[in-house]
Amino acid sequence: MAPLMNRTIGIFMEKLAEQHRHKQPFDIYALFKRFTMDTIWSCGLGLDTDMQNNLNDPYLVQSQRVLFRYDNAIRYWLRYYLPITQRFISDDPVTWIHKQAEHLIKKRAELGDTNRMDLLKLMLESATDDDFIDDGLGSVVANADMDIEAPLVRQLTQHEIVANIYLFMVAGYETTSAALAYITYVLATHPNEQRKLQEHIDAHFDHNVDQDMLSYELISKMEYLDMFIRETLRMYPITESVINRQSSEEFHIENVGTIPVGTIILADIYTLHFNSDLWGPVDPHTFYPERFATKRHPLAWIPFGAGPRTCVGMRFALMEIKELLVRLLKVYSIVDCGESTQNKNGGVEHFDIQNNHIILNPAGPKNCLYDAISAQTNISSNELRQRAANHMRHNADYYLKMMPAYEILV
């Protein structure tokens, strides 16, 4: 997969260089989104897309529409209740992607064995021609005799491969680009930590020799880089409402009460990630990557979830983020353009960290999360921030008591 990712990172660096030539602040989050979409289609699904150059790329357009839920809901409603509108309304994006996925599988099968190592190839290698596999694992009813992990011999039907292609696209695009945006935000607002990270990268990299991707082995040895990303995801977890489970049996928690069967339990990730007992002695509100050098509770950090249903793309996402950051920070520095953009004399010289520096508009929490939700609802982003803060306060005590139960459940 490395050469495939190298290609999309290469294009990203070209786009960055183009922006750099303008010497103007810009929104790097938009570039991250195109980069992650390009990477997931290319490394995961075997297409040589060029979404970073071509904003009209149909895969980019349709994939982004999938994520715009209200648009889809209205489309569905119209097509269902007013069939006459079907002629005028284009296919919904989900169907479009499913059709493309079927086409991709067929094309790959016709090509036979190729050298291209991507997710699709791995899935096809474990495919079966059967339409349905009755292994009992599709059942939602808990079964004491059932293994938690699927047996290794388990094969994938064509339908499952199509569904997985779709799932990877949805799960792997916005998450990773938002993570990159938060990291950029932290870099811009913590110049000392940024310098430290750049020195760390320089120490592992020979600038004169290494132009391409770092090997998996080398990048795995870069501990500070790893801690930097983990600390960012601790403070800015992307998917705070995704990690939930349903209790399959009744259980009791001291000082809380009895939790009935079927209760949906949502992990309150903010409370967990900002708990000073779990993350001290340095204040959890301080950005301090070195806190990861100390061994913590195994469930204290869960931006990718936990247990058998943990994020399957975690390693991929971390690798993608690391490779991109190494390339980016080798050449550029990220500069907060908040006040400096207001300065008519230019703030560039002021932040002379490396020879080749750039002002980027860091897409921080403001840009990434609340504004995106706000755009899809009628709730202002300030109101959403307020609600999130209240939610965190309200849940703090309760969640702490829930922790041991959560440990059992995952």
Binding segment (CB under 6 A) for ligand HEM, from list 128-136, 300-308, 324-332, 363-371: 300-308
What's the rounded Cα separation, in Å, for the pair 215 and 166?
29
Q: Is 62 in the site for ligand HEM (CB under 6 A)?
A: no
User: Measured between alpha carbons, how far is residue 199 from residues 160, 194, 203, 335 in Å?
Assistant: 45, 9, 6, 17
Q: Is 25 in the site for ligand HEM (CB under 6 A)?
A: no
Q: Which is nearer to ligand HEM, 12 or 205 (CB)?
A: 12
The single residue among 63, 176, 232, 271 that binds ligand HEM, judged by CB under 6 A, is: 176
Label the pairing between strands 264-266 and 244-246: antiparallel
The single residue among 259, 265, 312, 405 that binds ligand HEM, judged by CB under 6 A, is: 312
What's the rounded Cα separation, in Å, for the pair 74 and 27?
30
The single residue among 168, 205, 228, 292 that binds ligand HEM, judged by CB under 6 A, is: 168
Q: Is 305 in the site for ligand HEM (CB under 6 A)?
A: yes
Q: Is 359 in the site for ligand HEM (CB under 6 A)?
A: no
Beta carbons of 304 and 311 less than 8 angstroms apart: yes
Helix (H) or strand (E) segment spanning residue 244: strand 244-246
> Can you spell out the DSSP letters for 251-313?
EEETTTEEEPTT-EEE--HHHHHT-HHHH-SS-TTS--GGGGGS---TTS--TT--GGGS-TT
CB of residue 245 to ligand HEM, shortest distance in Å: 7
The single residue among 85, 310, 343, 380 that binds ligand HEM, judged by CB under 6 A, is: 310
Query: Among residue numbers 177 through 196, which ones bind ligand HEM (CB under 6 A)?
Result: 179
User: Measured between alpha carbons, how far is residue 126 from residues 161, 368, 396 in Å?
Assistant: 10, 37, 44
Query: Among residue numbers 313 through 342, which ones bind ligand HEM (CB under 6 A)?
Result: 313, 316-317
Query: Among residue numbers 221 through 250, which ones bind ligand HEM (CB under 6 A)?
Result: 238-239, 242-243
What angle is formed at CA 92 by the lines to CA 87 and CA 95, rounded to 5 degrees? 115
Q: Is 46 in the site for ligand HEM (CB under 6 A)?
A: no
Closest CA to 289 of 386, 200, 404, 177: 200
Q: Is 171 in the site for ligand HEM (CB under 6 A)?
A: yes
368 assigned to a ligand binding site: no
Q: Which is nearer to ligand HEM, 167 or 379 (CB)?
A: 167
C-alpha gyration radius of the chain: 23
Q: Is 375 in the site for ligand HEM (CB under 6 A)?
A: no
Q: Is 44 in the site for ligand HEM (CB under 6 A)?
A: yes
Binding site for ligand HEM (CB under 6 A): 44, 167-168, 171-172, 175-176, 179, 238-239, 242-243, 303-307, 309-313, 316-317
Known binding-site residue numbers for heme? 311
